[in-house]
Amino acid sequence: MKLKIYGIIGIGLVITLIIIGFYLYPKPFIIDESFENGFGEWSKDAHVPLDPNNPGHEVFWNISRTDSLAHSGSYSLNFSIDGMQDDGTIWVERKVLVKSYSNIKVRVSFHLYSSSENQAITIARVVAFVGNSNPEVEDDFQILGPTNQVLGWREYTYEANLNTCSSDEIWVAVGITVSWETYLSYNIDDIRIEIT
Ligand SMILES: [Ca+2]
Ligand SMILES: [Ca+2]
């Protein structure tokens, strides 16, 4: 009889531990943006050279929503820049609220559209940023790889471990940087941020 009771208590304990473990197990915090209703929390930014053909002005660049191309839904963001000065980085960025003084892993994934395949020449590079402060210059970014690996959509991902220090926010950004002297146009859609 005693054995039976211990057995039942034992099983009960194991079940309780499994349930507690399930609730304590870190679940990823996920943010998805497909740009179907505006920019969401994202905003555009750039670090580009002056345009010698237009004194006193930066080279042309723009990031805008378009319904002419989409990875999912009807809209994506079009990234355009005059790369004739062989320089310039443009991106979208956002902050994410997190717990201060915690070690987190941030995974950013997104889909980029190239209108042609060209593996012989690096026309542009795909860049991303994860950090404690607002990215402002090209050097803040990590290069994920070249564009134009395929004609069409290709997924890029970036993962970074971070200590949030005293701040309760982190910044995430994705974009492109010029590598070839030409006018560039790429689309980005379905940015996902996963924090664990
Ligand atoms: Ca979309
Ligand atoms: Ca910025």
Please report whether residue 77 resides in a domain: yes
For residue 164, give its domain range: 29-195
Q: For residue range 130-149, what is the model confidence (pLDDT) as tens digits?
A: 999 999 999 999 999 999 99
Q: From the CA of 5, how far away is ligand 2's center (Å)?
A: 63
pTM of the model: 0.86
Q: From the CA of 182, how far away is ligand 1's center (Å)?
A: 27
> CATH number, domain at 56?
2.60.120.200
Please report whether residue 5 resides in a domain: no
Q: From the CA of 110, how far away is ligand 1's center (Å)?
A: 11
Q: For residue range 8-34, what is the model confidence (pLDDT) as tens digits?
A: 777 777 767 666 655 555 568 999 999
Which-ligand-closest: CA of 171?
2
DSSP state of 32: E
Instruction: Determine the straight-line distance between the first and last CA of the chain, rounded to whole angstroms.
Output: 46
Q: From the CA of 70, how far away is ligand 1's center (Å)?
A: 5
C-alpha torsion angle, residues 100, 47, 58, 76 (rounded to 10): -80
Q: From the CA of 134, how far away is ligand 2's center (Å)?
A: 5
Please report whether residue 22 resides in a domain: no
Half-sphere exposure of 189 (CA within 13 A, CB side): 21
Q: From the CA of 130, how far away is ligand 2's center (Å)?
A: 12
Please report whether residue 13 resides in a domain: no
Angle at the Cα of 152 from the Cα atoms of 148 and 153, rounded to 5 degrees: 95
Please report whether residue 79 resides in a domain: yes
Q: How many residues does the chain have?
A: 196
Q: For residue range 64-121, what is the model confidence (pLDDT) as tens digits?
A: 999 999 999 999 999 999 999 999 999 999 999 999 999 999 999 999 999 999 999 9
